[in-house]
Amino acid sequence: MDYRLWIDGQWQAARDGAMMAIENPATQEVIAQVVDAGRADVDAAVQAAKTAFYDGRWSRKTPGERSLALFRLADRIEARIEEFARVESLHTGKPYASTSLGADLPMLIDNLRFFATAARDTHGSHAGEFMAGYTSMYRREPVGVVGQIAPWNYPLMMAVWKLGPALAAGCTVVLKPAPGTPLTTLMLAELMAEAGIPAGVVNVITGGNDAGQALVEHPDVRMISLTGSTQTGKKVMAAAAQTLKRVHLELGGKAPILVFDDADIEALASKATVGATYNTGQDCTAATRVYVQRGVYEAVQEALVAAMEGVKVGDPFTDDVEMGPLISQTQRERVAGFIARARSAGARILTGGGAPAGLEKGYYFSPTVVADVEQQFDIVQNEVFGPVVTLMPFDDEEQAIHYGNDVLYGLAASVFTKDIGRAMRIASELEFGTVWINDHMPLNSETPHGGFKQSGFGKDLSAEAMGDYQVTKHVMIAHT
Ligand code: NAD
């Protein structure tokens, strides 16, 4: 595997970039060296995408042709699914069998097939006579060259969530994966030609935050789509304002689970545990704040601790492992810092709280339950990004809704109750882009995913995502 930059349909050496090491978080070994792109590299990629956009090699293909190419791309990934899953696990530490091969890869292949279908959706393109003597046409056109910036927690899935709708809409792309997890995105780039996606339509530059910044500042990029932290979202939005780029921001989250006294507690404990430990809790929709009606607070504590202690943590390449390491030493120190501050503020650590015994190498962290927190604790207000849930009691519906909404984020939330009327009342009051009832976390290709408040704006998945990569042009024809 060649780890140079993928520009204009070929591997290109860095113009002004250096090299950077990619680490396996389960073994702490360096597994690859990739380019840390400089400004000249970013510019070369944007120029390739610009040429490819304006000569129409992709944007003027018929929707049917674009659709076929995206279906072929999904087929090519599926044909090499084990290899993609293996490399995804190597640079992220995700369990190979249960997560990379069992969940992430099948889902992202399905996402790509969804966008292959959406490419043929003519919704929003129509003609009509709205003034006597004139016909108006609405054309849905691709926005142009799009800069896409991805995070490390779902490297290939985030790349596909971005590429799928942009390519379906007819845009050309410069995609920058996160600094530590670029390998599967580079593998994907190499499949473009086989799928019939012309050179220059998809360009992949590896690199750090400066490479991302150069992409955001580039005058020929019409739109930036970022999935990352809220802090980065603010910087990207400010920088994009200089050239008035459209921005699409999928940012951090701090999902609450509201548990009422009529809930099925065993089911809640099992789903909250998956929600808190899937991808080692490094998920923007991760279950993080569990609020429990006072009468069942003790019972929920017990059930949740038992379920969290049942999660099998270990080597990502052992078949029955459900949770691997955190992404890095920095991340492990960050998670441990939240626990230490909560403990000294008076919270009780019911289970976990540090590295599990027997796993000396790798950035492992035990599933952790922290009880008796208060709403203003930083572990309740801020994104921890580790396998950690907090528990807090509430008295009534109004208080539960207040606690749920009382954070800066607004990505996802869930409610556990058998009372459907209550569930619907609460769903309408929660300020989150997704509200699950009696579950936490499932996503599908057809329904939109995206935040409210400081979790950002714009949607991934669904036909709405494709709309975000299009502009509407009005063409008016006089009948003379
Ligand atoms: P991050 O914000 O540190 O980095 C994300 C990407 O932005 C990286 O590629 C990085 O190099 C780039 N970047 C950083 N600074 C930049 C700048 N000034 N200009 C341009 N690009 C810049 O986030 P991360 O740590 O990689 O990912 C974790 C975060 O992503 C969490 O906050 C998580 O909630 C969020 N996330 C959100 C979603 C969602 O759908 N809303 C999905 C996954 C992850």
Ligand 1 atom nearest to CA at 460: 40
| Dihedrals phi, psi of 152, to nearest 5 degrees | -95, -10
Catalytic residues: 250, 284
Residues whose beta carbon lies within 6 Å of some atom of ligand 1: 149-153, 176, 178-179, 208-209, 212-213, 216, 226-229, 232, 235-236, 250-253, 284, 383, 411, 451, 455, 460
Residue-by-residue pLDDT tens, the chain, 480 positions: 557 999 999 999 999 989 999 999 999 999 999 999 999 999 999 999 999 999 999 999 999 999 999 999 999 999 999 999 999 999 999 999 999 999 999 999 999 999 999 999 877 778 899 999 999 999 999 999 999 999 999 999 999 999 999 999 999 999 999 999 999 999 999 999 999 999 999 999 999 999 999 999 999 999 999 999 999 999 999 999 999 999 999 999 999 999 999 999 999 999 999 999 999 999 999 999 999 999 999 999 999 999 999 999 999 999 999 999 999 999 999 999 999 999 999 999 999 999 999 998 999 999 999 999 999 999 999 999 999 999 999 999 999 999 999 999 999 999 999 999 999 999 999 999 999 999 999 999 999 999 999 999 999 999 999 999 999 999 999 999
Nearest CA to ligand 1 atom 30: 228
Give the number of other CB atoms < 10 A from CB of residue 115.
30
From ligand 1's centre to the CA of 149, what distance in Å?
Answer: 8
Ligand 1 atom nearest to CA at 161: 40
| 241 beta partners | none
Structure token pair of residue 222 = 């019409």
From the number of C-beta atoms within 10 Å of its C-beta (0-12, 13-18, 19+), residue 236 rates as buried
Estimate to the nearest angstrom the gap between the alpha carbon of 397 and the chain centroid. Answer: 31
Q: Are 43 and 83 contacting, i.e. CB atoms less than 8 angstroms apart?
A: no
From ligand 1's centre to the CA of 71, what distance in Å?
Answer: 28
Nearest CA to ligand 1 atom 14: 209
Q: Give residue for tokens 């009468």.
A: 295
Length of the chain equals 480
From ligand 1's centre to the CA of 251, what distance in Å?
Answer: 7
From ligand 1's centre to the CA of 409, what distance in Å?
Answer: 15
